[in-house]
Structure 1
Amino acid sequence: MPTDYHNHLEKGTLTLDYLKKFVDEARSKNIPNFGISEHAYHFYQTKDIVSKPWMEERRYYDMEDYVKLFHEAWNNDLEVKMSIEMDYTPGSHNEMEQFISNYDFDYVIGSVHWVGDFGIDLAEYRKEWDRRDLYEVYRQYYDQVVTLAESNLFDIIGHIDLVKIFKYIPKDEEFLLEQYDRATEALKNSKTCVEISTAGLRKPVQRMYPEPVLLKMCKDKGIPIVFSSDAHEPAHVGADYDQAFQLAKETGYTSVMTFNKGQRKEITF
């Protein structure tokens, strides 16, 4: 029972026709547990949670329209879960919790995309990597992964080692293992699952999230997984899942977590 819970409509429109292209692609690839998790910063209702100039240029959706789209989909017998991908924002736990509780999400993804005002995965900020202390960026990134897990607000953490996206990776393996260990220690005590995401294969790093050694730590500590493609266009739904399944099996995973209206169920694959 594969999943693909991390997908975005932002390159198209919040319309049934566009959504249907994603759902049809999932169906064609035998992915029964499919969801859309639009970036929360696109919505006017999240401005009190996080506001950066880069986001304000892209804040053009209303949650009312988003919710209506899913009800229209369900009324047309489209099998799709309603979710959101939130930029985890330290210091805004109450605001994030209030926003999440306002909507009947099937599940919620929390992701770290920013270290302060540094958008770590954005092409516009790529030159910043050469200006900053690599180890300090990684330390601050994983600080947020830890507190994201400790908040227990999220069902899934998105692309847990996104920080490697542009191939800026510390050479000190012991340092990396230390970051992985403290992240997984926090995750094992939370409800948060880790996604095996194929999106990294389409990025400069050309590697899946997470690294095999990090995924092995997750397995050893009993942290559940889901599969995700992080598709921003229909053709990428379920992309490279053969590699994702292989990584999961090699790591020892035999099941995934599924979600429905906040309820979770573990299913063998």
Structure 2
Amino acid sequence: MRIDLHNHTTRCNHASGSTLEFASKACELGIDIYGFACHAPMKFDEEYRMRLSEIGEYINEVTSLRENIQAQKSVQNPKIQILVGLEVDFILGREDLLEPSVLSASLDYLIGSVHFLDDWGFDNPAFLAEYAKKDLESCWVKYFQSVAKMAQSRLFQIVGHIDLLKVFGYAMPHSSECAYALECALKSIKEANMSIELNAAGLRKQIGEIYPSKEILQKAYALGIPITFGSDAHALNQVGFGYDKCVELAREVGYDKCVYYKQKQAIEVDF
């Protein structure tokens, strides 16, 4: 079964293509379970996310698309399942920014992602110069501490791109401090019954590799942490991007099953 749970809509203000166009492309590619997880509203960095007032419209739009597909009105393959989720930013120390209406919304899943260390948007090219001013080891330790705290909140089902900090090529240092922070994050994910996604977007970035690295994925596998898949598509030509490479990596590590979610309940399937 082919799954892709991380896809955006124009409501985040940095994506293109309609939900119907995305779903139609997913059908063409033979994707069985396709999920939208647009950037959730938050009173922080608001230009790159939907407005709080749009949540209901967003859910209704995807739900209507799902109903139309099931009625065989919109696409050629009505067997595809369309899911609705949100990608939510988790900023360590700023948990007050989490919107209660986002967390309680009628969704299939929430992806928890760390894009910020304090107010530094480390995956934004506009702030690339900040890396030269930072201690890389400290950044990675804080990043994994953020992931651990996010998992401990028990608010999310999926960890988004778990080693995103490598996006511009600043890979995790091989130090005992980083290794310990990663270990704590993975244990917290396991204890929270969360999954991690194999996110293909890294193949489109300077780092040129999947999130997570094989090393991290091996550690996740050893702990019995489930996986899912996401192309992190912001445009039609990114739908299903890198899926075969993600599957290849997962199988190399030992995985042969993945999960998706309905009403925040995990469903395990073969891939």
User: Are 2:52 and 1:66 equivalent residues in the alignment?
Assistant: no
* Corresponding residue of 1:164: 166
**SS at 2:241 equivalent:** coil
**Displacement, 1:174?**
4.2
* Corresponding residue of 2:250: 248
Structure-2 separation of matches of 1:111 and 1:63: 18
Identity within the alignment, %: 32
TM-score of the pair, normalised by structure 1: 0.88
Structure-2 separation of matches of 1:235 and 1:56: 26
Equivalent residues, number = 256
* 2:201 partner letter: A
Unaligned runs of 5+ in 1: none
Question: Superposition pairs for residues 13-92 of structure 1, below 5 Å?
Answer: 18-40=18-40, 43=41, 46-47=42-43, 51=44, 55-58=45-48, 61=51, 62-77=54-69, 79-91=81-93
1:135 to 113, 134, 137: 137
Structure-2 separation of matches of 1:59 and 1:97: 13
* Corresponding residue of 1:261: 263
**Displacement, 1:189?**
0.6
Query: Are the equivalent residues in 2 in contact too, given 1:138–1:163 (CA < 8 A)?
Result: yes
**SS at 1:6 equivalent:** coil
For residues 45-96 of structure 1, what are the alpha-carbon distances to aligned partners after superposition, in whole Å with 9 as ceiling and x for unaligned?
x32xxx2xxx233455321221221232133126421110000133455763
* Corresponding residue of 1:236: 238
Unaligned runs of 5+ in 2: 71-80
**SS at 1:231 equivalent:** coil
Structure-1 separation of matches of 2:26 and 2:97: 33
* Corresponding residue of 2:190: 188
**Displacement, 1:170?**
4.4
* 2:199 partner letter: S
**Displacement, 1:182?**
1.8
**SS at 1:258 equivalent:** strand
Structure-1 separation of matches of 2:36 and 2:219: 28
* Corresponding residue of 2:203: 201
Between 1:27-36 and 1:206-215, the stretch displaced more is: 27-36
Structure-1 separation of matches of 2:94 and 2:194: 18
TM-score of the pair, normalised by structure 2: 0.88
